Amino acid sequence: MNTIIQNILVFTSLALAIWFLLQKFGLFPKKKVATNKACGQDDCGCH
User: In the prediction, which pLDDT does 40 show?
Assistant: 62
**What pLDDT is attached to residue 25?**
84
Give pLDDT, residue 29.
62
Give the CA distances from residue 42 to residues 6, 33, 38, 39, 47, in Å, rounded to whole numbers and listed in that order. Answer: 52, 17, 8, 7, 13
pLDDT tens track for 1-47:
899 999 999 999 999 999 999 988 887 666 665 555 556 666 666 65
Distance in angstroms (rounded) separating the CA atoms of residues 15 and 5: 15
Predicted local confidence at residue 33, as pLDDT: 59
